[in-house]
Amino acid sequence: MDKLILTRMEFYGYHGVFAEENKLGQRFYVDVELHMPLDKPGRTDNIEDSINYAEAYAVIKEVVEKRTFKLIEALAEQVASSLLETYTSIEEVTVRVIKPHPPFDIHFAGVTVEISRKRAQS
């Protein structure tokens, strides 16, 4: 399956188990892979035959910056659900949420959750 990939989108959100995280917020990175046929837009060169990635970015931003979740797993799930609800041409979506600075004394590049969800077959 073809993919449209948005890489390392940066957002400021208020997600975490600790009250301080919900109050102060922090930076999050999000990657999404939109699995969908890209042959038609490749032939027509017409944005209406694809997904406008600026609009997809706005959908993701709305979830990450306007909602609050305790777990980045829940954040990733909502991003995936919102994209599948908004764009019927997406057959599957993979979402990676990276929390680069978790609030504990461990030194590493961050914590990443990756989920993949498919459109329900009718």
| The pLDDT of residue 107 | 76
72 neighbors 113 (Cβ within 8 angstroms): yes
Q: How many domains does the chain have?
A: 1
* Helix, strand, or coil (residue 9): strand
Taking the C-alpha atoms of residue 22 and residue 109, their distance in angstroms, rounded to an integer, is 21
User: Which residues are known to be catalytic?
Assistant: 99
Taking the C-alpha atoms of residue 53 and residue 99, their distance in angstroms, rounded to an integer, is 23
Residue 111, φ and ψ in degrees, nearest 5: -115, 135
% the chain with pLDDT above 70 = 99
pLDDT at position 122 is 60
CA 45, CA 30: separation in Å to the nearest integer?
Answer: 27
pTM: 0.93
- The residue range of the domain holding 21 is 3-118
pLDDT tens string 21-57 = 999 999 999 999 999 999 999 999 999 999 999 999 9
- C-alpha closest to that of 72 among 31, 107, 24: 31
Tens of pLDDT, residues 7-29? 999 999 999 999 999 999 999 99
What is the CATH number for 36? 3.30.1130.10
Least confident of 17-31, 73-87, 96-110: 96-110
